[in-house]
Chains A and B, each alone.
Chain A
Amino acid sequence: GENVEQHPSTLSVQEGDSAVIKCTYSDSASNYFPWYKQELGKGPQLIIDIRSNVGEKKDQRIAVTLNKTAKHFSLHITETQPEDSAVYFCAPYSGGGADGLTFGKGTHLIIQP
């Protein structure tokens, strides 16, 4: 199965600065790369995803970049705001095994005022 690692586990940034979270995966057959955001007391919510035929995707202040050669993809958040404080999970998919997501352990993003 897929071995997924996220770094860092905790990230604290000043409001207005940028944040980058990296996800490393093991299965070279992975072809779908989503990021989920989980706010306190809520379920995860998809915020952005990318497929293997695309190197980068942007949606307003968030972007995802993919490096298939190195087997990692990253979440970029610019101009961070207090509402960006949450836990972020990557969940790369390789197409084998169960249909459920294989999550990383999460990155707790803290936006300092």
Chain B
Amino acid sequence: NAGVTQTPKFQVLKTGQSMTLQCAQDMNHNSMYWYRQDPGMGLRLIYYSASEGTTDKGEVPNGYNVSRLNKREFSLRLESAAPSQTSVYFCASSESPGANQPQHFGDGTRLSIL
């Protein structure tokens, strides 16, 4: 009963490096989301995928790309990491599109950009 699994849990990068954050859900949900959380802030939406094969920008998409690999997996890529992208990243899923229903979150990836 894993729910939403994120890897890695921690990562340190140097400015300019690239990396991909992985997310997988085992609840057969259609929709998946990527958020970032900065100190003292609520979570902000980076990208989302309403269904397999579709992706859309959220509130803070600049500097990121996403891939909905299949129904289970949704990855977030930083092509050229910047210190401003130091944050905790959360992946979430929901049964269908729309924020008017429960979203299930992973436990996050803590990313530091030096």
Contacts and interface: CB of A to CB of B under 8 A. Distances in A.
Nearest to A46: B102
B42 A99 contact: no
Interface in A24-74: 31-32, 34, 41-46, 49, 51
How many interface residues does chain B have, given as a range? 20 to 34
A43 B41 contact: no
A43 B104 CA distance: 9
A34 B92 contact: no
Contacts of A95: 98, 100
Nearest to B34: A100
How many interface residues does chain A have, given as a range? 20 to 34
B42 A105 contact: yes
Interface of B: 4, 31, 33, 35, 40-45, 48, 50, 56-59, 90, 92, 97-108
Given A41-B108, A45-B105, 12 more contacts: A32-B100, A32-B101, A43-B90, A49-B102, A93-B98, A99-B33, A99-B97, A100-B48, A100-B59, A101-B35, A101-B99, A103-B44
